[in-house]
């Protein structure tokens, strides 16, 4: 398979990358290091492996963990080179005694409901200092530090009601726990028709957020 061939979610799952979670066209992992120096060593060795493969991840070094995100930017998704580097990073982490924490991995995306994203996108691109994304309904932070903003298709809004909502992406096996915690914290389920792709939740005031996974809705998978 070519290194520029996009892998489907099922193909990524078949690779059995236990340390890694597929989210928004990328592979993501967190490794608990226990110390900042171990985290720095892990980051340095990942950098060496990335240079050797000529394929470079995003790294976030903190105490006491390191977050890693892998994607093939030239094709806007996950390819075989991401899988190879993910395996190598897991090996390095294991050698250093850093443990994976897939249950802590998440990715945040901002969504703005609109019936005309072309009219709104230039403003938000300018005010945020963002750039166009490969997808026409999304803008991205060029430095990759802040969440993407995407424009979700919706009907015209005549009355003032919530237009922004958060999309919180988690691994499918951890979605139920996140939803349960939100419900126990006073939230309510608004809509689960698209599960397990996403569930719409609301806080006690009715403000909404979505818990999302890479999986298609059940009716699409049937």
Classify 201 as helix, strand or coil: strand
pTM (2 d.p.): 0.86
- Determine the pLDDT at residue 1: 67
Q: Is 131 exposed, middle or buried (0-12, 13-18, 19+ CB in 10 A)?
A: exposed
In the block, tokens 């897939």 appear at 102
What's the pLDDT band for 38 if we cut at 50, 70, 90? very high
pLDDT digits (tens, 9 = 90+) for 127-160: 899 999 988 999 999 998 899 999 998 887 666 6
Q: Report if residue 2 sits inside a domain.
A: no
Alpha-carbon distance of 23 to 100, in angstroms, equals: 16
Q: What is the pLDDT of residue 144?
A: 87
- Domain with residue 152: its CATH number is 3.10.180.10
Cβ neighbours of residue 34 closer than 8 Å, sequence gap 6 or more: 64, 97, 98
112 and 100 in a single domain? The answer is: no
Q: How many CA atoms lie within 13 A of 167 on its CB side?
A: 20
Q: For the chain, how many helices (H) and strands (E)?
A: 6, 13
CATH number at residue 78: 3.30.1360.20
Nearest to 132 by CA among 144, 124, 140: 140
pLDDT at 42: 98
- Is the confidence at residue 164, as pLDDT, over 70? yes
pLDDT for 48 beyond 90: yes
Nearest to 192 by CA among 215, 211, 206: 211
Whether the Cβ atoms of residue 120 and residue 153 lie closer than 8 Å to each other: no
Domain that includes residue 173, residue range:
106-221
- Beta strand pairing call for 208-212 and 164-170: parallel
What is the overall mean pLDDT for the chain? 93
Among 104, 119, 140, identify where a domain stops. 104
**Residue 71 pLDDT > 80, yes or no?**
yes
Per the structure, the count of domains in the chain is: 2
Q: In this structure, are residues 89 and 48 in contact, taking their beta carbons and an 8 Å threshold?
A: no
């Amino acid at each position: 398979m070519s290194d520029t061939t996009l892998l489907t979610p099922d193909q990524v799952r078949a690779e059995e990358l236990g340390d890694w979670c597929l989210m928004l066209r990328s592979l993501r992992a967190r490794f608990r290091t226990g110390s900042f120096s171990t985290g720095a060593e892990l980051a340095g060795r990942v950098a060496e492996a990335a240079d050797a493969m000529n394929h470079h991840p995003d790294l976030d070094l903190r105490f006491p963990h390191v977050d890693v995100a892998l994607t093939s930017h030239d094709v806007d998704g996950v390819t075989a080179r991401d899988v190879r580097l993910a395996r190598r990073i897991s090996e390095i982490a294991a050698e250093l005694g850093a443990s994976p924490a897939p249950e802590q991995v998440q990715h945040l995306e901002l969504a703005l409901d609109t019936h005309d994203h072309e009219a709104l996108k230039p403003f938000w691109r300018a005010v945020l200092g963002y750039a166009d994304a490969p997808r026409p309904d999304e803008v991205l932070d060029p430095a990759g530090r802040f969440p993407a903003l995407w424009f979700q298709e919706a009907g015209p809004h005549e009355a003032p009601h919530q237009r922004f909502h958060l999309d919180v992406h988690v691994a499918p096996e951890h979605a139920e726990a996140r939803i349960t915690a939100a419900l126990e914290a006073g939230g309510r389920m608004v809509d689960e028709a698209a599960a397990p792709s996403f569930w719409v939740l609301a806080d006690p005031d009715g403000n909404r957020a979505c818990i999302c996974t890479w999986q298609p809705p059940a009716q699409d998978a049937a």
